[in-house]
Structures are given as structure tokens and as C-alpha cells.
Amino acid sequence: MAALDRAAPGPVAEGSVGGGTGMVCYQFKCGIGTSSRVTDVNGDSYTVGVLVQANFGHWQLLRVAGVPVGHYLKPDDESSPVFDASLSSIIIVVATDAPLLPHQLDRLAKRAALGLARNGSIATNGSGDIFIAFSTANAEAGRGAADANISMLPNDSINPLFQATVEATEEAIINALVAGRDMQGDNGSLVRGIDLERLADVLRRHNRLVEPSDTP
């Protein structure tokens, strides 16, 4: 109820907020993350937004921009009692204003798994992954009118939305990770956020980091 009451335009709070407070991914402090893409479909512009609540992964699997950064950023305490990498989970919500029917939204939700895999997830045996997708288009369709008219994009035109979903999911997870901060938990347990300076250094050494001076 608090989340609904505080809903407003503007930046979305990330990291240790709401349900993300207790989340850990790749054995670093994690939480809520979000990202979006604007894409063109047949001359019309549509937005795909993704929100994740991330709680999964072993540090050795972590990849950022294709770089296996986990090999360079081993957590200080690999055997931390606050996390069991075999019992991982993530919730991914995909939202779009593109006019898609339920079966098309089901296909969009499945593409979120590809964005998850880009960051190194293998969806372990104990994973409790939940992916959902919805569209804000066709608002009148659910009002019960017998003659409700709806619009939809043809299947052959929705590849750009698939791409946007994969990319936004990948970035939302990274945003959740870099927003994480050291947290002291119950009974003295401690989980640390990822070292952002070390992460940037690894990406820089692999030519994956865009410096401010490099942008137009």
C-alpha cells in the first residue's frame, strides 16, 4: 500500500528498498533495479520498462557487458551464512505501452530470461524465478463492453520489443547490483555491496567502460 501511495513520475528508487532490502545477487548486496528502452516498430515509438527484484547467483558467474567480472571481484567472505546460491530467485516485471495481446506478452516475458542469462545466471535447480509482462494499451478492453475494440501489433513486427526486453532486463539487474550497499543483518551477518571502483577498473581494462570524456 505504501508503494502505491508513493507512486509518482521520475526516477525509481533502486537497491535496498521495499522487497529489495534483503536481496543478494552474485553474493553481493543487491535489491531492486530498473531500466527501459524506447524502440521503433513500423514507424511508431514504444517503451519497454523492466523492474527486477534480484536475489540469485554465485560470484564466479557474474558477467557485465560480456566481461566475466566475477573472476576479478571475489567477495571478501565467500562462505557468508546469509546466502545460499543454490536457492536463488528473481522477479522480473516487463511493462510496455505497445499494443500486445496476452499470448504476445507471454512471449515478451520469456525474453527476460535471455537478459538474465547475459549476466551469468544459469537458473539453478532451486531457482524460484517469476517473469510477468503487461501492456498499458487497450485500456478499454477490460471494461466488459460486448463490442470492445482492441489493437495489436503483428507477430512479425515485435522483434524490436524482444530486443528491448532483453537489453533492459540485463541493465536492470546490473543497476540493482551497483545500487547495493553494505548491510548488517540479523545475528551479526554482513553482506557487502560490490566494489564500484574495482568493477569500473575491470570494465575499463576490457574496453567496456565509456568515460565521460568519450561521449559526444
Active-site annotation holds for 127: yes
The DSSP letter of residue 76 is S
Question: Which of 36, 80, 89, 195 is labelled catalytic?
Answer: 89
Active-site annotation holds for 121: no
32-41/44-55 β-pairing:
antiparallel
Question: Which of 36, 129, 195, 201 is labelled catalytic?
Answer: 129
- Separation of alpha carbons 177 and 139, rounded Å: 34
Active-site annotation holds for 157: no
Question: Which of 36, 127, 195, 201 is labelled catalytic?
Answer: 127
- Cβ-based neighbour number of residue 215 at 10 Å: 6
- In angstroms, what CA-CA distances link 57 with 22, 71, 86? 15, 13, 8
Catalytic (active-site) positions? 89, 127, 129
